[in-house]
Amino acid sequence: MKASTDYYHENSMFHASATEVMGTRLDMVILGIDRAKGDLLWQQCRERLEQLEAVGSKFKADSETTAVNRAEPLSIVTVSPLFGQLLTEAIGFRQPTRGCFDVTLGSCSAVEFRSPVELVVPASGLTIDLGGYLKGRAVDDMMAVLKSGGVTDAFIDFGGSSIMGIGSHPAGKGWPVSVTDPYSRRVLATFSLRDASLSTSGNTPAYNGHIVNPATGRIVSGNRLSAIVAREALVAEVLSTTWLVADEQLRREILPQFENVYNEFVYN
């Protein structure tokens, strides 16, 4: 992670910016605090991000996810408590999303823990990809850091696709953001985020073929975009991925399983 910070005295505005974090960039804007406090909170956020990356990155050769993905079928792998916690939480979304959100990419039917830190690898082996989960978890965790630091107004943008508005922009209520069609650049919708999170998911001209339907193992292709506004970034994140995979009927069935979803749409 490469990071830098700025401070704007006249607005009491702190801005932290990072690249190479979970494969993307992160911006955090906090209002109404002094520089030292901003640095402190940002430091805490960074530590959390680093912990999450060490556990969850499927690309880092030394991450726990990599180790688990390489483990022999039926072996028992010792994992950190954090890994166990994250995996359990991530897998927990499989049922309410009717299998549409599956961090195991359909590679197993159940993950069994012999103890909180001992994972039993199923006979089929495991392929875990926490990619669609981790950013949402990270945004919620950063929000918790900010809230516990007494922050009332802030804006977090993780990779342009996971966004959280806490409190309000100084000139209005909430934080207004718009979603645009990456192909036509037309504005598709505008949302006001006030203690709410927006997650968008979909193919862009630049990045295609990263979403896999776990049921079929096939890549979701074409110009399809989903947007979810929810109180929790993680819920928004999970549902925006789910919305790309699930059809209309299934989406109606899944929606009531989640609380505090304020807005949702999918655009073809």
Partner 1 sequence: MTDPSRRSFMRSLGVLAGSAAVLSTAPWLASCSADKQAAVTGERARIALIGTGSRGQYHLHNLKLIPHSEVVALCDIHQPHLDEASQLFPEAKTYTDYHALLDDPDIDGVIIATPLGTHARITLDALDAGKHVFCEKAMALTLDECKEVYERYKQCDNVLYYCMQRMYDEKYIRGVQMINDGLIGDVVGMRCHWFRNADWRRDCPDPSLERLINWRLYRETSGGLMTELASHQLEVCSWVTGKMPSKIMGMGDIIHWKHDAREVYDTVNVVYKYSDGRTISYESLISNKYNGMEDQILGSRGTMNLATGLYYLEEDNSRSGIKQLLSSVRESVFSAIPAAGPSWRPETADAYIPHSILDGVTHVNNGQSTIGADHDGSEDILASFCQACITGERAVNVVEEAYSATALCLLGNKAIEEGTTIDFPDEYKIPYMKF
- Contacting partner 1 (CB under 8 A), which of 45, 100, 143, 225? 225
Residue with tokens 């103890």: 115
Query: Is position 116 an interface residue for partner 1 (rule: CB under 8 A)?
Result: no
Helix, strand counts (H, E) of the chain: 6, 15
Query: Which burial class, exposed, middle or buried, applies to 14 when counting CB atoms under 10 A from its CB (0-12, 13-18, 19+)?
Result: buried
Query: Is position 54 an interface residue for partner 1 (rule: CB under 8 A)?
Result: no
- Contacting partner 1 (CB under 8 A), which of 3, 15, 82, 250? 15
Query: Is position 254 an interface residue for partner 1 (rule: CB under 8 A)?
Result: no
Nearer Cβ to partner 1, position 218 or 252? 218
| Contact by Cβ (8 Å): 268, 170 | no
Distance CA 198, CA 165 (A): 8
CA atoms within 13 A on the CB side of 164: 31
Nearer Cβ to partner 1, position 200 or 241? 200
| Contact by Cβ (8 Å): 19, 2 | yes
- Contacting partner 1 (CB under 8 A), which of 35, 182, 231, 250? 182
Query: Is position 88 an interface residue for partner 1 (rule: CB under 8 A)?
Result: no
- Contacting partner 1 (CB under 8 A), which of 109, 115, 123, 185? 185
Q: What is the number of other CB atoms lying within 10 angstroms of the CB of residue 268?
A: 8
Nearer Cβ to partner 1, position 97 or 200? 200
Query: Is position 218 an interface residue for partner 1 (rule: CB under 8 A)?
Result: yes
Q: What is the number of other CB atoms lying within 10 angstroms of the CB of residue 136?
A: 26
Burial letters for 30-48: b for 16+ Cβ neighbours within 10 Å, e otherwise? Answer: bbbbeeebbeebbebbbeb
Nearer Cβ to partner 1, position 131 or 136? 131
**Residue ranges that bind partner 1, judged by CB under 8 A:** 8, 10-11, 13, 15, 17, 19-20, 22-25, 27, 29, 31, 57-61, 69-72, 75, 105, 125, 127, 131, 155, 157, 160-161, 163, 169-172, 175-182, 185, 187, 190, 198, 200, 202, 204-210, 212, 217-219, 221, 225, 227
